[in-house]
Structure 1
Amino acid sequence: MSRRSTRNTLQERNENAPEQNKPQRKRKGECNRRVPSAAKKQHYEIQVSEVYTLHRETFYLAQDIFDRFMLTQKDTGKDQLQLIGITSLFIASKIEEIYPPKLQEFAYVTDGACNEEEILAKELVILKALKWELCPETVISWLKLYSQVDSLKDDANFLIPQFSQETYIQITQLLDLCILDINCLDYQYGVLAAAAFCHFTSFEAVHKVSGLTWDSISSCVRWMNPFARAVREWPRPQLKDFKKVTAEGRHNIQTHVDYLAMLSEAHDRQQDSLDRMSPLAVAGILTPPKSTEKPANA
């Protein structure tokens, strides 16, 4: 498959993505960032994913399941978030992992907050609410496609990863951080992945591999700016070794850093930008006289 034909296929998939693969807008009245309990829940699941050597695709599928389920609910107590989150990860693991952790292990990592019976009962509730639609293209699957197409040579095997693992895990770290903020739901998965890819490559590379225009990703790229700056100020992520994982597959395992601290820095940057753009800040800027207006003592 040539790079051009692959790009055309990806562009068609972006344009024709089914509705269940597109994150919906935030519910009316929802705050502009994930509530702390939800962000902590996701951060915790990143930790669990690394402990059990789960793939990135598993974690991102779990987040998709969680977000889509939450959008079907009117009122969900904070005490239910952990149960919904761990059940989403349980479902995703059974879909993506060859040897998923056992049910009792998912119950164990909640430290007694959720038992096996509760997880199984919530699993059925989630599956019914989502009408068993469990195989979307996730943010991470779009990123992997873009990365592969960008590095693809005409005579290369498309199924064998050709891209830099080091660059890939930098981009995934940015996406890991961004999904902790509820505003990520304003963007389609393909656009989120393209914007993150743009921050570590260029728009020319994004357009080449996806066919997306600047108008279609510029808003997301700008929204992602404070997150990208926060990621760059932290130590560069390193590839980790995992038992029973080949060197060629290390980049596919979900890894953890202190994303909550990184998120706080990104939000501080967002607030600084908003403060600079506020009417009060603008009013304090002196407007220079027109070139035709001479000073009174001239």
Structure 2
Amino acid sequence: MFLLFQKCWSEDGASPCILIETPHKELEPSDPSSFKQYQFKNLFIKASPIPRLSWASSDDVWIKMLNKELKYVHDKSYLQRHPKLQPKMRAILLDWLLEVSEVYSLHRQTAYLAQDYFDRFMLTQENIDKDYLQLIGITALFIASKIEEIYPPKIYEFAYVTDGACDMWDIQRTELHILTALDWNLCPETPISWLKLYVQVEAQKDGENFLEPQFCQETYIQITQLLDLCMMDISSLDYSYSVLAAAAFCHFSTFDVVHKVSGLTWESVFPCYKWMTSFMDTVRSEAKPQLKNFPKVKADDRHNIQTHVAYLELLRKSQERQIDSPECQLSPVAVGKMLTPPSSTEKSANP
């Protein structure tokens, strides 16, 4: 698929661009039926916030990331296709996957890929029984580790952590089932990949290597803990991954900064930011997460390793806060009247 990038300068100095999907060369224009499946899509977006790169076009990198937001679709409504399942079952499974990820020192991106694979796979299925959730989850983590990790755990290790519930052959069969259902689309931009981009762009200074982290690791792991907690709630699937990351970052910064690094408007971030407030209140009430040491993990990579805390208990507290908050009962129209972004004078950089 080829992409056209066209800058359209406006009077106020903003520079949106147009993201266009173009048809494959092998398609014959004379065949209208084959051309329909490649109809153009136009999306007006802000210019790339990524600084100039020596190894690639920052515009190309930015557009490819945005294009994945269109390609990879998630939706919490999949529970309607599985009458025997409840949102809490998903939370329990994801909590366990985060725990397994820490045990094997897997990266945060690996855990979030597994979550994405699980949710998108469930969207393609019907009437899955709760007894199969652990097998689907551990297989999703197995696939994600082969995508993301340099030295992924062996398949027998993934079978081992299920304590006899699944064997290697179960995982292999389920792996093929998941890959087929997802049509081998395995490279979404997760909330973690968006967050890393945002915080890196915000911290970037001229002349520094963009691939080397410039941001504060301590603040980064606080934001990731908020994202982890929100990810446990199935309502997080109401929002795009880029918006989830932006809303989480906004809770630790100002909207001026978030707008600069993401190009998102306050109107697009606010609903998620507001929904996330109860989770932020819960995180703020707990002790700040500390960087952990992992065997064979360098000190400057520790922040990228997935960690686990008592997320189920934190989720319970967050959801209770949502129920107790009168603002959670407001309709979208009523909330829309409050669309005023926090200014830098009203909001500190840290909670």
Shorter-chain TM range is 0.7 to 0.9
1:90 to 137, 142, 146: 142
* Counterpart for residue 26 of structure 1: 77
* Counterpart for residue 95 of structure 2: 43
Q: How does 1:279-298 map to 2 (within 5 A)?
A: none
Distance 1:139 1:278 in 2: 26
CA pair 209-243 structure 1, distance change in 2 beyond 3 A: same
CA deviation profile, 1:73-125 (whole Å, cap 9, x unmatched): 12111001000000000000111111111111100100011111100000000
SS at the partner of 1:172?
helix
Identity fraction in percent: 57
Contact residue 34 and residue 180 of structure 1 kept, 8 A: no
* Counterpart for residue 135 of structure 1: 187
How far 1:24 sits from its partner (Å)? 2.7
How far 1:27 sits from its partner (Å)? 3.4
Query: Is 1:62 matched up with 2:111?
Result: no
Higher share of residues assigned helix: 1
Taking structure 2 as the reference length, the TM-score comes to 0.74
Aligned-pair Cα RMSD in Å: 2.3
CA pair 173-28 structure 1, distance change in 2 beyond 3 A: closer
CA pair 4-141 structure 1, distance change in 2 beyond 3 A: closer
Query: Is 1:6 matched up with 2:50?
Result: yes
Taking structure 1 as the reference length, the TM-score comes to 0.87
Distance 1:140 1:276 in 2: 26
CA pair 18-264 structure 1, distance change in 2 beyond 3 A: closer
Distance 2:313 2:170 in 1: 31
**How many residues are aligned here?**
276
Amino acid at match of 1:66: F
Distance 1:21 1:239 in 2: 32
Distance 1:222 1:52 in 2: 34
Structure 2's unaligned 5+ residue stretches are: 1-46, 52-57, 332-351
Distance 1:278 1:142 in 2: 29
Contact residue 291 and residue 302 of structure 2 kept, 8 A: yes
* Counterpart for residue 173 of structure 2: 121
CA deviation profile, 1:213-235 (whole Å, cap 9, x unmatched): 10111110001010011011011
CA deviation profile, 1:266-286 (whole Å, cap 9, x unmatched): 00001102588489xxxxxxx
* Counterpart for residue 264 of structure 1: 316
Distance 2:167 2:99 in 1: 19
Amino acid at match of 1:171: I
Amino acid at match of 1:52: Y
Contact residue 21 and residue 138 of structure 1 kept, 8 A: no
Distance 1:276 1:146 in 2: 28
Higher share of residues assigned strand: 2
Distance 1:242 1:81 in 2: 29
* Counterpart for residue 222 of structure 2: 170
SS at the partner of 1:271?
helix
Contact residue 57 and residue 140 of structure 1 kept, 8 A: yes
How far 1:21 sits from its partner (Å)? 2.7
Amino acid at match of 2:72: N
Distance 2:79 2:131 in 1: 21
Q: How does 1:230-245 map to 2 (within 5 A)?
A: 230-245=282-297
How far 1:156 sits from its partner (Å)? 1.2
